[in-house]
């Protein structure tokens, strides 16, 4: 390989490596800020700044969901990551996928009673796609807490 080609190859390598390092450092510095939600464990550890809006993400704890009679009325549930639980209340229309044992991302703040007042509830879908028959077959083997 000739010298100018080698030189150009080095320049291309420098461009790719340089931009990768620059962007890598930015992402490393932003690390926490890039997360779209905090887990209940992080909230319990106090890493979340108090008195401002943020999102929590977890699973709707099985057996904790209390809904009103009508759609759009008060909903209460515990958001869990299997280690810590956070009580959440919400008034409004829920996504169709929202139910116990399902992943959830809630936007809101923690009030003085330690209850997360959600202004928006999003359902987090997992990466598992299957038919109802498969689910029936799997449930026979027992479900686990895996948010």
Residues that bind other proteins in the complex, under the rule CB under 8 A: 5, 8-9, 11-12, 15-16, 19-20, 23-24, 27, 31, 34-39, 57, 94-98, 102, 105, 120-135, 137-138
Query: Considering the complex, what minimum distance in angstroms separates the CB of residue 131 from other proteins?
Result: 4
Six-digit token string for 11: 């320049």
What is the DSSP secondary structure assignment for residue 37, as one 8-state letter? -
Nearer to other proteins (CB atom), residue 44 or residue 94: 94
User: Rounded distance, CA 69 to CA 75, Å?
Assistant: 10
Q: What phi and psi values does residue 125 have, to the nearest 5 degrees? A: -90, 140
Query: Considering the complex, what minimum distance in angstroms separates the CB of residue 93 from other proteins?
Result: 8
Nearer to other proteins (CB atom), residue 78 or residue 121: 121
Nearer to other proteins (CB atom), residue 37 or residue 112: 37
- Exposed/middle/buried for residue 57 (C-beta within 10 Å: 0-12, 13-18, 19+): buried
């Amino acid at each position: 390989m000739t010298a100018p080609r080698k030189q150009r190859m080095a320049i291309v390598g420098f461009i790719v490596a340089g931009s990768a390092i620059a962007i890598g450092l930015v992402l490393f510095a932003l690390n926490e800020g890039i997360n779209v939600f905090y887990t209940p464990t992080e909230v319990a550890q106090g890493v979340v700044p108090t008195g401002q809006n943020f999102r929590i993400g977890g699973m709707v704890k099985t057996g904790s969901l209390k809904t009103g009679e009508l759609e759009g009325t008060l909903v209460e549930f515990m958001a869990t990551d299997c280690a810590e639980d956070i009580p959440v209340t919400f008034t409004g229309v829920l996504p169709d996928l929202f139910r116990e044992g399902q992943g959830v991302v809630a936007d809101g703040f923690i009030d003085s009673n330690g209850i997360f007042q959600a202004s928006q509830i999003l359902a987090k879908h997992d990466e598992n796609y299957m038919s109802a028959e498969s689910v029936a077959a799997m449930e026979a083997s027992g479900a686990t807490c895996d948010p």
